[in-house]
Amino acid sequence: MNNKVKRNISPYIALLFIIIVMYLLTGGNSNINKLSYSDFQKSLKNDEVKTVVVSPNQKGSTYEITGKMKDYKKNESYYVVAPLSDETLSYITKMNDKNKFKLTVSADPASNVFVEFIVNVLPYIIIGGVLIWFFNKQITSNNKSLEFGKSKAKLQDDKNKVTFKDVAGLSEEKEELEELIGFLKDPKKYTKMGARIPKGVLLVGSPGTGKTLLAKAVAGEANAPFYFISGSDFVELYVGIGASRVRDMFRQAKQTAPCLIFIDEIDAVGRQRGTGLGGGHDEREQTLNQLLTEMDGFGRNEGIIIIAATNRPDVLDPALLRPGRFDRQITVSLPDAKGREEILEVHSRDKIFAPDISFKYIAKRTVGFSGADLENLLNEAALLAVRRNKNEITMSELDEAYDRVIAGPAKKSHKYTEHEKKVVAYHEAGHAVVGIKLDGANDVQKITIVPRGVAGGYNLMLPKEETYMSTKKELLETISGLLGGRVSEELVFNEMTTGAHNDFEKATKIARSMVTEYGMSSLGPVQLEHQESSVFLGRDYNKSRNFSDAIALQIDEEVRKIINEQYEVTKKILSENRDLLDLIANALIEHETLTKEQIDYLVENGHMMNEEKNETFKELKEEAKELEIKGYSKMNKEELEKEIKKVKEENE
């Protein structure tokens, strides 16, 4: 039996228990025989009496005699009113000496009053109290059912106040929201000019980019009431509840205007109406209709601004996005290198880092990380530092945390066979050599053959520069870099392994996009496939096919042609640089992990860096430490010389 059912029947169980207790206290179906005093005397003479209880009544004018006869049943008793005199007591006592029945005499009238109250009045008081409690319970239950349609929007506590100082890496987005803050602080400034502030602002962006944090910061900067609710809080099983909650939410907001309402994950309630294979959902559509009505039904500049967040703007109903509702969209993008550095600075406030930590260096390595990813990276590093009993977070913990975030924890217990280790080393070295020799390929940052997650090893390759578009040459060379692992296996071992399946998946996706979306093939500048907003359809239906079967065959041929041509390019590069391939692979077999600095040193000098023998490099590091150059431990010789020279010139 679940808790809800228990709560529903508990008042009835309690009432039944009280009735049973009262029944027992009052004697149940007791039968009281009223006798005259003369009849009672006859019974005493005939030795028919079993028990006698004598007590004066409350007024003190008569005796009340109760008890049982020998032939009475269990619940049967007698009741006699006798004169209040010594003769009555003398007669009963005399008969008791003769017949030996049980006699109890109470000379205190108050005790009789107390007993009478217990027996005759208290049960009714208890029953009345139970009934009152029971009805109150039912009224409370009815009130709760009436509150079912109340808004679940919560008002933010001032203790959790967030301002723009807590939001980093979103400079342009904060500028877009400045006028909302100005309106909340001084609405007359805008109404005087006849300006209409946007009623709704839609924050669009990937998960973890800081949409919710940005909305909180707007309320914090404006020092205005901030109501927040999730889109899923509106939708219920019962039709009409969601619409009722929307009405109640706006009613509360109007009482505290100017204010902000933040609806997180609005796509849960704002999806397109009347779409999908199975039709719409009446409750969700009614909720959406009510939301549309409330937003469009505002009086002019009433001071209520709605901010909503979603990572699926393509599924929203067009009526939500028209002017007068969510008439402004702000795209919250993934941060660039500068933004990532600022975010790392914000999240490092309550953590202890070693003096040589450079957030600029970490920001360069974390291409594609969102604000939530960066916070998680620093948190993982802090946990590792505690696990290793360190007093500060060093670069070692940050490196390990980065690897754990993107590939999972290292499987140190997993043991390769010698042949497997060699194959993995050459596979990863193949990626590295292509990345080194091709300008458009991704730059190799780190190589490891230590198993992590489902991967036997991994090659961290990042773009040489962060760009917003890619050329055909860059895409082709990226495909070559992805094919480097398989080509290396064939070139060295003359066999194929399953280790390249993820590389092929990425390479094929790029090649197909070049043909069907980017117009980078002999089929010409035609977009043959594009993502559709088929909200309720499965993944297989999400791509629109605007071509015949004959064109489909040509697409497949073009994709295969791109892959095969780049395969040959990769094979040529690795064949011409076999010595470098062997050098990096052997270094991997020996050290298992190589950083970018070690790889660069290998390419330049033909052997691994030996700091013990390289006294000059060692002296440069000591000098960089004295000058407090951040990130010096990760710099190569040339970078150290440049930084030391730069710092000395600034000091002069």
CA distance 494 to 432: 19
Nearest in space to 329 (alpha carbons), one of 338, 341, 345, 318: 318
Sign of the Cα torsion 244, 246, 247, 249 reads positive
Distances in Å between the Cα of 368 and the Cα atoms of 330, 463, 505, 569 are: 19, 11, 19, 28
The identity of residue 389, as a single letter, is N
Pick the catalytic residue: 265, 341, 342, 428? 428
Nearest in space to 311 (alpha carbons), one of 261, 365, 356, 268: 268
Nearest-10 Cα torsion for 403, 641, 602, 457: 0
Phi, psi torsion values for 611, nearest 5 degrees: -65, -30
Nearest in space to 176 (alpha carbons), one of 224, 161, 167, 324: 167
CA distance 564 to 561: 5
CA 429 from centre of chain = 40
Helices 418-437 and 549-576: crossing angle in degrees, nearest 10, is: 100
CA distance 549 to 87: 125
Q: Which residues of 70-84 are buried (b: 16+ CB within 10 A; e: fewer)?
A: eebeeeebbebbbee
Ramachandran area for residue 279 (φ above 0: left; ψ -120 to 50: alpha; else beta): left
Angle at 587 (CA atoms; ends 584, 593), nearest 5 degrees: 100
Decide: residue 188, CB within 10 A, 0-12 exposed, 13-18 middle, 19+ buried.
exposed
> 344-351, long-range: CB within 8 Å, 24+ apart, which pairs?
344/374, 344/378, 345/168, 346/166, 346/167, 346/168, 347/374, 347/375, 347/378, 348/378, 351/378, 351/382, 351/393
Residue 316: beta bridge partners? 271
- Give, rounded to a whole angstrom, the gap between the first and last alpha carbons of the chain: 81
Is 178 in the active site?
no
Copy the structure tokens of residue 128.
Answer: 């009345």
Strands (E), 70-101: 76-83
C-beta separation of 63 from 82 below 8 A: yes
Distances in Å between the Cα of 106 and the Cα atoms of 51, 66, 220, 488, 512 are: 14, 12, 78, 112, 107
Instruction: State the catalytic residues.
Output: 428
